Amino acid sequence: MPLLLLDLDNTLLPRDAAFRAWAECFLAEHRLPVTELSWLTTLDGGGHVPRGTVLGAARRRYGLAQPVEELLAQYQRAINSHIRCPDSHLAALRTARTAGWTLAIVSNGRTTAQLEKIRRTGLSALVDAWVVSEEARCAKPDPLIFEIAAQRCGIAPTGGGDLAADSWVIGDHALADIAGAEAAGLRSVWLHHGRPWAEAGYRPTLIAPGLPEAIGLVLGAPGIGTAA
């Protein structure tokens, strides 16, 4: 049974665009200049910087009276309202399902926040399972989280030939997604989003500009994406 393991943020969902929309609202709410948008998005680090670090730095920079805990709670309530799943991504998932692929989301992050994204955007109806690092108590690139995803789809864990032969990981993060896939013995597609591949010790099986192209590659569509 072919299995496609998909990252969530900046793979299935344009998470950076959602953060940018939140940041614009944050600046407007606090009557701060729009020129600060670049500072906030740089500090955000594509979501890989802890939220408390980002908001603590913003509090100091802008002289905000609210404690970091309050700013964090406000952020957590607001950020997912800006999340959208592009129609092209939903269509690509439907194509994969029609072609007989089993789909699972494998995401690092907080369980509550990630599940809200999955349900809010309609992804819950298009995948067979999901795993979030907080509830799984392990995080990418640990191969165990990919094994858990496979098990939740009713597929033998990594180490069996069938899973390694018929399973792919698609993601945008070199270490979490691509090194994780290699450690688990899985093939992978890296979403470059306009970036060059910078890691010397490992490489993705294939490279694509975005999710629809990556799924096209995995399903064997000719002339889409770039081989690594």
Q: How confident is the model at residue 180 (pLDDT cuts 50, 70, 90)?
A: very high
Question: 164 and 190 share a domain?
Answer: yes
pLDDT value, residue 48: 86
CATH of the domain at 143: 3.40.50.1000
Asked if 173 and 189 touch (Cβ cutoff 8 Å), the reply is no
**Structural domain of 163:** 3-14+85-227
pLDDT value, residue 165: 66
Alpha helix (H) ranges present in 79-210?
87-98, 111-120, 133-136, 143-152, 161-166, 180-183
Q: How confident is the model at residue 118 (pLDDT cuts 50, 70, 90)?
A: very high
Question: 94 and 69 share a domain?
Answer: no
pLDDT digits (tens, 9 = 90+) for 49-90: 999 999 999 999 999 999 999 999 999 999 999 999 999 999
Question: 44 and 24 share a domain?
Answer: yes
Question: 47 and 139 share a domain?
Answer: no
Question: 117 and 150 share a domain?
Answer: yes
Name the 3-class secondary structure at 50: coil
Assigned token pair, 126: 């298009």
Question: 46 and 116 share a domain?
Answer: no
pLDDT value, residue 157: 62
Give the chain's domain count.
2
Mean pLDDT across 178-194: 95
Asked if 133 and 96 touch (Cβ cutoff 8 Å), the reply is no
Question: 131 and 24 share a domain?
Answer: no
Lowest mean pLDDT among 28-42, 72-86, 153-167: 153-167
